[in-house]
Structure 1
Amino acid sequence: MLELKFDLNNCDLEPIHIPGSIQSHGYFIAINQEEFISCCSENIYELSGLQAVDLIGKSLKYLERSLSLQDGNSLISEMVRLTKQVDHLEQLNPSLITIKDKPFNLIITASEALLFLEFEPIVVDGSSLLQSMIGRSVSHMLKDKNLNVLLNNTSIQVRKIIGFDRIMIYRFAPDGHGEVVSESKSENQDSWLGQHFPASDIPQQARSLYKINLTRLIADVEAVSSKILGFPDVKSLDLTHSQLRSVSPIHIQYLKNMGVASSFSISLIFRGELWGLIACHNYTPKFIDYRSRESAKLIGEILSSALEFRQEESDQQIHEIFNNHLVKLSKQLQKNDSLIDALTKHKTNLLNVVHGGGAVFVYEKRFVKLGITPNSAQIESLMKWIQAKSRKSIFHTNNLEAIYPPAKAFRKTASGLLLLVISRELNEYILFFKPEQLETISWAGNPTKQIEVGNNGLTHISPRKSFESWAETVVGKSINWSLEEIQAVSKLKEEIVYSINLKANAIRLMNEKLKEAYEELDTFSYTISHDLKNPVSAIKVFSQLLMRDASLSERGKQISRHIEDGAKKMNLMIDEVLEYSRIGRAETAYSMVDVSVMIERIITEMRIVFHDRFLNITVGNLPAIYGDSAMLMRVFANLIGNAVKYSQHSHSPKVHIEAINDGKSICYQITDNGIGIKPVDLPRIFDLFKRMSNVGQIEGSGVGLAIVKRIMDKHEGKVWAESVMNEGSVFYASFKHSKINQQ
């Protein structure tokens, strides 16, 4: 037996599959491929009359002669040969063999290059009695569809079949700890129904063995195990598939502390994983022979199938509910142009996809909240953490504060988080929340194991001695996210991505059509404007000729002057439209532009047009900009010209020009104290032919600011305005820093 220096983690480290010994109620022999004995249990003397050391290295024939078999000297050899002809050893096991007038079950199992031969006594009439009860018990087990009733019926029927003092159905939680969910017991015993047991009581490597060995018998906790002797080194002999494998001393002490003398378990497998155990305890030693254990295994397999069937029924119902909601959401996504409206503004919305308390849709730099959620500041902080930490497209937890401590502040609202990533690059997510589910867990004794020093001075774990109820209140956790919820959210992502792609394709197609229409309109406006210049010029010339006619009355001359003024105004508008169209068609020639020189030139021209006495123009910092010099000249000429034009009627006209560099952009500001812009006009001042309603007789075409906007768009910049009526306006022209340094 390996000597272990136990610490609190030894339960998960103990090599229970290579104990180097067997339980002493049976006998063990291992043979190699040449049918020679490699090792055997020390108690083989009781069966053969030969010491184990005398059998090691001997042939299988020698063993048969020493056993004086009554059923023929070659029975064991024949069974071994048959193992090479069958697909599953279960077809051979067990074989009835009589040794010294005593019936035994011979169980053959394979382990790497060895065959294990295990001899177990047969309980007379036990198997037939058990098998006769199986049929009746199964019908009683399955008579109700309710899961709790099914489990209760099973525990009652198993107790009737094997006669143990206590039968428990023990279900494992995702973290490995277990709960007694059904129980059948003697009247004088305390109930353990609803009690929880820590994961360390049945550690991970033990749970793995339960998936392989569907039944496990410990016949007598007081019995001394029998060592295995032989070659190779028995310390590495894997007894995973052995029926007689001895028991961990930690587990033996655990059972003794519970007052249990014998235990038997039947594994319950659900979808390939260990769902739980039918755990059977007896308070006196009790042996169950191999055939009886196999019959009991059938009970476990039937219950496992029933569990799967019941769960699949329940899952299917939930799946159909979620799927119906997803179908409605899909239709809403197709009908609504807005993704946010489709998922949040209808009776069927994001909250119908999961059994949650709240949801947040993070899309297009907006937070849209549904149900009960953390506040906006808490969501913003959580989103920063998600953006830094999240790498999965779907992530879920029922204990958010364990990985994100600030969540403790809103645990009542959002202890559970299910995160759906729509686009990590665009920071677009859907967050589903579940509230805290306070839970008081009743443990079967304090689950903490204690370290003790034994009589030999070695440190070891002492399993707890008290199994009296010990309560613990669990905080900060929500109900777990179900597989159906996760699948529904995954399906929702597919629908959203599909909808986004459809809308993107529609927008792309629309943009292509708009581009074609825009180019056609651009060409049309250029052609029409160009062709209009000749007749407008003719109108202007004819009106001037009329005014020179001496016979024309004063009224006629006045009309002619109006015609000439109209022709001039129309000619100005045509020139502006031609310029607007030319800018749209022109290629951009980028270079570094000295804006200070450009603005000085514009101011000089303004002084000539408006006379020095009307101008008070000041300038501040005027940094260079990377752009098209001719186009930028038009931008600043228009903005400065407007500032001067619309402030010239003020008592003391003032215009100030300067730029602010914030490291990301350079923003030019042109400030005046003119007539201002009405709030109703402000959103549309950059539209073509749009003039303010309060300009009066101040000349203008309504095209200048539209030209400015078009030039700024070509430079990937922004232009906007702020204004207060009768106090003045500020026009802003902002250029990206990335466009500033491209020399």
Structure 2
Amino acid sequence: MVKDDLDLCSKEPIHIPGYIQAHGILIIIDSEGIIKYCSDNFTQFAGLTVDHILESHISKYSKVFGKSENNNFILDLINLSWQGKNFKPINPYQVEIDGMIYNLILSLSDDHYILDFEQELSDLFSDPQNIVGASLSQMLADKDIDAILRNVVQQVKNIISYDRIMVYQFHDDGHGEVVAEERNDQLETWLGLHYPASDIPEQARNLYKKNLTRLISNVHEQNIPLMSTAEVPADLSNSTLRAVSPVHIQYLKNMGVTSSFSVSIIVDDELWGLIACHNYSPRFINYRQRETAKLIGQVLSSCIGLRNQEKNQKEDMKLQTAVLDVSRSLHNEKIADFIETCSPILLNAFKATGISFLYEGETTSIGTVPELSKIKEISEFLYDAANEVLITENSKIDFPELQLESVDFAGFAGCRLTKDIKDCVIVFRPEIIQTVKWAGDPNKIISHDERGQPFISPRNSFEEWSQQVKGSCLKWSSSEIRAIMEIRDEVNFAVGRKTAELRILNEKLRDAYSELDAFAHTVSHDLKIPLTTIKAFAELIIRKSKEDDIKIMSTKIVDNSDRLNQMIKTVLEYSKVGQKDVRKESIDMSNLINDIVGQLLMSNLNANLNLVVKSTPDLSGDPILIFQVFLNLIENAVKYSHKTEYPVVEIDGQLEKDEVIYTVKDNGVGMSSDQQTKIFGLFNRVGKTNEYEGSGIGLATVKKIINRHGATIGVESEEGNGSTFTVKFPRKTGS
């Protein structure tokens, strides 16, 4: 339907028609009882012209209403209807006009009172009040909502004997569908047919919420004009006699319908649908009978609401089971693993093709999901969205830039974990293809009058017209959105719990490292005394013994004592790193590195050693500890390359935006990938240990110093092709 068509429908002033239906009389009075509006036919009964009636007091006409003994009976009824601030009229009140019984129905119109006088005589053969009780029990006998609706139309047809009874349900977009029907045998079925939203526009649906029954007794009767001296038309929203929109009258005529009666079905304060009744000859139902029919609608409304509630509870239970499953998984496993662990129940609960979870830069998915780049695009939309949840039931229309394939990804619901990061949960739904059978082409024709003004020309074709609807997924329910947010909350809770656990563990590790450092320092210091004694006795045996074998064995004791002493010394140095306070200052790296190079050149075993020092930018750190780092790295480079014919060790530094980066490169023996992963651990060494001296503690000490400076260290190496150690220090602000 075109937009102009909908606009014209929505602008039709159906609440102020200026006319009433022909089966009654209407008078509107103010709070003082002065007549402000009256229907033109009232003049026949009053025996006065309109000019005499308007602005006169209602009490003057008590004889017309058969109440000559009480001139103020209408104002008395109005006063009785006010219960505090609430207006609850005692409807109907019967009066006699010109020998016929009429039902007086009171209602409000702003600060005025509407007096609808409807005839009591009905076209119904029996009073429905006598059979409605039994009918209600039969209507509600089944628990299945479709069966209940079938029972309703059967029982309503038994009560009011209209030619066709339908239950007409409104869909979310406003269009309606006949979901139950009972009809005379000669009529063709309309069951399953859909009708466009413009057939019952928004303002008409609002009136159905105010007035739960609506009668059009005869579409061929001439409407009665409403007379007044006021410039403002009367609001007849609450009037039972309110005339019908000319567009709707013509619409009914085009269908061949002469009389129409409807009962509103209100579920959770919204218009769920109508019990729509059509007759192909005139039919009048009096006020009491319509109220009985209204009772059926109210009971049906409660029944639908209850069945919907039961359905929603079942859905909630399934979704809550999925949320609990996620909660258990998050408690026992890694956070990202809950997607795979809970995949069967999650896909089933959300009726989904797939689910993706973006967490800490990684994406975990189950089922059928879009390519990774599109998932990340959705996470960007979520990151920028004002709301924490992003929902679409037609991704091609709502997010055309994603170009998602509709069969599997027609819709999705995404929820970000927190506002400032791109971690999120996204659930994907497949396309549901529907064939909608319309009662005629749903597009109305816009006509123009002689002045060129557009008006609605009601549809006159109701032949079945099929349309295939593609590209959309099943509507996301509020329960499903709530469940996705609860899963988000469970993940955030698990992240918080893991963070707290890590904080406690880190505190325990710090305490353990501190105790270990103190223990290592104490043990290393205490071992020196007995070790010195062992060495002294071994040297004494060498000097005094005359047997060569004993001298050889004693010499080995001395050598091993020296080796053990060196190991104790390095352990002591390692432990001191943990205890020493780091006092950072600007270090002249040129002097520091040249001092180290000078020492190593003096003691080098290979005369061909080439120590190349390139750029040496200054850095911020503890001078003593940084000296240890570079002494160890350069010394190792020299040591593990000295057996090369022409050893080359290169030291170079670079300034980056946020870092000072140093590399120490050699062309020595290199190391395997397995050795590279272990090299910074205690007592791990490279190459054959009998060919190269060392304790295996030096690089562990370097790693510890580096960590205390907030720096990083890495190595790239290949066996037989040397190694390159890279150290990255945070650059001092302002340097």
Q: What TM-score do you get using the length of structure 2 for normalisation?
A: 0.91
Residue 741 of structure 1 aligns with which residue?
Answer: 733
* C-alpha distance in structure 1 between counterparts of 2:635 and 2:450, whole Å: 102
Q: Which letter does structure 2 place at the counterpart of 1:199?
A: A
Q: Residues 635 and 134 from structure 1, CA distance in 2 versus in 1: closer, same or farther, beyond 3 angstroms?
A: same
Shift of 1:273: 1.8
Confirm or deny that 1:657 pairs with 2:651: yes
Letter matched to residue 377 of structure 1: S
Which of 373, 379, 396 is matched with 2:391 structurally?
A: 396
8 Å Cα contact 1:127/1:291 also seen in 2:
no
* SS at structure 2 position matched to 1:304: helix
Compute the displacement of 1:476 (Å). 1.7
Q: Which residue of 1 aligns with 2:270?
A: 273
Question: 707, 710, 722: which is aligned to 1:713?
Answer: 707
Distance 1:37 1:590, change over 3 A: farther
Aligned partner of 1:16 in structure 2 is 14
Pick which of 427-436 and 200-209 moved more: 200-209
1:35-434 matched pairs, under 5 angstroms: 35-65=33-63, 67=65, 69=67, 72-85=70-83, 92-124=90-122, 126=124, 129-230=127-228, 233-235=231-233, 237-334=234-331, 336-345=332-341, 349-389=345-385, 391-434=386-429
Q: How many angstroms does 1:699 deviate by?
A: 1.6
**How far apart are 1:101 and its partner, in Å?**
1.0
Matching residue of 1:452: 447
Tell me, what secondary structure is at the counterpart of 1:613?
coil
Deviation at 1:313, TM superposition (A): 2.6
2:662 to 664, 668, 671: 668
TM-superposed CA distance for 1:460, in Å, is 1.6
Q: State the distance in 2 between where 1:130 and 1:717 align.
A: 90
Contact 1:325 1:353 in 2 (8 A): yes
CA distance in 2, matches of 1:579, 1:49: 122
CA contact (8 A) 2:382 2:422 kept: no
Determine the C-alpha separation between the residues in 1 that align with 2:591 and 2:293. Answer: 98
CA distance 1:379–1:54, change in 2 (3 Å): same
Q: Which amino acid aligns with 2:370?
A: P
**Secondary structure in structure 1 of the residue aligned to 2:674:** coil
* 1:143 aligned partner, one-letter code: A
Q: Which moved more, 1:68-77 or 1:711-720?
A: 68-77
The DSSP-based 3-state class of the residue aligned with 2:128 is helix
State the match for 1:520 in structure 2.
515
Q: How many residues align?
A: 733
Structure 2 Cα separation of the partners of residues 208 and 539 of structure 1: 104
Q: How does 1:564-713 map to 2 (within 5 A)?
A: 564-610=558-604, 613-659=607-653, 663=657, 665-692=659-686, 694-713=688-707
Write the distance in 2 (CA, Å) between the matches of 1:130 and 1:668. Answer: 97
140-149 or 300-309, which moves further after superposition? 140-149
Secondary structure of the structure 2 residue equivalent to 1:9: helix
For 1:138 and 1:351, the matched residues in 2 are separated by 41
Change (3 A) 1:282 1:624: farther
CA distance in 1, matches of 2:540, 2:477: 91
Q: CA contact under 8 A between 1:440 and 1:472: conserved in structure 2? A: yes
CA 1:250–1:582: 2 relative to 1, 3 Å: farther
CA deviation after TM superposition for structure 1 residue 68, in Å? 5.0
Provide the secondary structure at the position in 2 that maps to 1:578.
helix
Distance 1:197 1:593 in 2: 83
Deviation at 1:106, TM superposition (A): 0.8
8 Å contact from structure 2 (residues 5, 444) kept in 1: no
In 2, the alpha carbon distance for the partners of 1:134 and 1:370 equals: 54
Return the alpha-carbon distance in structure 2 between the equivalents of residues 21 and 326 of structure 1: 58
The alignment yields a C-alpha RMSD, in angstroms, of 3.1
Query: Cα–Cα, structure 1 residues 704 and 22, in superposed 2: closer, same or farther, change >3 Å?
Result: farther
The one-letter code matched in structure 1 to 2:632 is: N
Shift of 1:301: 0.9
Question: What amino acid does structure 2 have at the position aligned with 1:392?
Answer: N
Classify 1:120/1:689 alpha carbon distance in 2 versus 1 (closer, same or farther; 3 Å). Answer: same
2:122 and 2:284 in contact (8 A); partners too: no
**Using the alignment, how far apart are the partners of 1:241 and 1:319 within structure 2?**
39
Q: Give the whole-Å Cα distance in 2 for the aligned partners of 1:87 and 1:610.
A: 106
Query: Match for 2:203: what amino acid?
Result: Q
* Superposed displacement of residue 115, structure 1: 1.8
Query: Which structure 2 residue ranges, 5 or more long, are not aligned?
Result: none
Greater shift in the superposed pair: 484-493 or 66-75: 66-75
AA partner of residue 641 (structure 1): E
Deviations 1:187-237 (A, max 9, x none): 3333322222222332333322222221222333344444444465423x4
In the superposition, relative to structure 1, how do residues 630 and 204 fare at CA in structure 2: closer, same or farther (>3 Å)? farther
Deviations 1:148-172 (A, max 9, x none): 1211221222233223332221212
State the distance in 2 between where 1:209 and 1:622 align. 85
State the distance in 2 between where 1:636 and 1:42 align.
Answer: 109
Read off the aligned partner of 2:363 and give its amino acid letter.
F
Amino acid of the structure 2 residue aligned with 1:63 = Y
SS of 1:182's partner is: strand
Change beyond 3 A, Cα 1:474–1:6: closer
Alignment CA distance shift 1:26-1:125 (3 Å) = closer
Tell whether the 8 Å contact from 2:22 to 2:221 is kept in structure 1 after alignment. yes
- The 1-side partners of 2:181 and 2:291 are apart by 22
Q: Is the 8 A contact 1:71 1:98 kept in 2?
A: no
Specify whether residues 130 and 615 from structure 1 end up closer, same or farther in structure 2 by C-alpha distance, changes over 3 A only.
Answer: same
8 Å contact from structure 2 (residues 77, 89) kept in 1: no
SS of match in other structure, 2:186: coil
Question: Aligned pair in 2 of structure 1 residues 636, 187: CA closer, same or farther (>3 Å)?
Answer: farther
Could you tell which deviates more after superposition, 137-146 or 614-623? 614-623
Contact 1:127 1:292 in 2 (8 A): no
- Distance change in 2, residues 1:289/1:612 (3 Å): same
Give 1:542 shift. 5.5
Offset at residue 497 of structure 1 (A): 3.6
